[in-house]
Chain A
Amino acid sequence: MANLNRKIGDVVLKVEGISLSFGGVKALQNISFDVREHEIRAIIGPNGAGKSSMLNCINGVYHPQEGEITYKGIKRHDVDTHEAAVNGIARTFQNLALFKGMSVLDNIMTGRNLKMKTGIFAQAFHLGPARAEEMKHREYVEKVIDFLEIQPYRKTPVGRLPYGLQKRVDLGRALAMEPTLLLLDEPMAGMNMEEKQDMCRFVMDVNDEFGTTIVLIEHDMGVVMDISDRVVVLDYGKKIGDGNPNEVRANPDVIKAYLGVSH
């Protein structure tokens, strides 16, 4: 289902020899892979394989003990979360981290926070420059709302929305950051078939329309194989496969990790 007009570019993100452990637990061991511009890159693997830990290393939530991360040509040992965000890395969360009592609009607006230049004082008193700035950002947020087709819920508190829509709001907030690299942590988990189809379409549209590079973690094999350009497979913190969906599907180690093997 790959888009014909989309051009996959050069490597934008490269992780080399990443190892991360929590005490005696080795979450990631010597992982290396790269992500090219405009591609949809999936990370798959059984529970506890280290997928979320990998994302957390990329955007600086975890600091790996070993290894290097190269993003936009700059090599770092560990990444700072703020720096990651400023450099255009946005993410969504597996267990949603939305402000349940706030409206959809306000939640997505928080995604614009980094782009706001006026101070807290000006914002609190809604002074001229702050107001002008808010209008500009509100317009962008409305574009996101339009893109994700959530107009009817603009003013609804997020906590009152069904799960599938909350996931969409979570994506909306990440999109509001105008990211160049979007990390999606199980965007389709817990969704029904129809919601999954919608979400797939949105992910592909984001990639297609804005040219955003996407790294996603997903359990649903159908989804992964359909929408990704390349797939990394992790198992117990080790990389056991890397390649396009067909290669990965045929990889004996991957089959073993997923289906088990007779002893």
Chain B
Amino acid sequence: MSWFLFSSRPRTMAAWAAGLLCVAAQAQTAQELNTRALAATCANCHGTDGRPVTGSDSARLAGQSREFIVEQMLAFRSGNRPATVMHQLAKGYSDAQIQALAAYFAAQR
């Protein structure tokens, strides 16, 4: 595992490394890997790890609170929140998957 992700050394070091290569932690467990693959199904519109490109009309998911993401997904699914497409996509995910997605995106910055 890359030490600079977990070290308490100055952030400039991590930033320096990030400038070289995209810093991504390795999935340590099958569960973690599966969650990241699940979250990647959102990336086409919402950006890799929930970070959309600057100036696009897609909502940022990275760093939103877990409760907020769950609430919005359930509102899309029930039809309480009107949408063009998200009501159709939200219906494809189970409660457990929505919880896993929300926890994942909440943990991203």
Q: Please say whether chains A and B are actual partners in one complex.
A: no
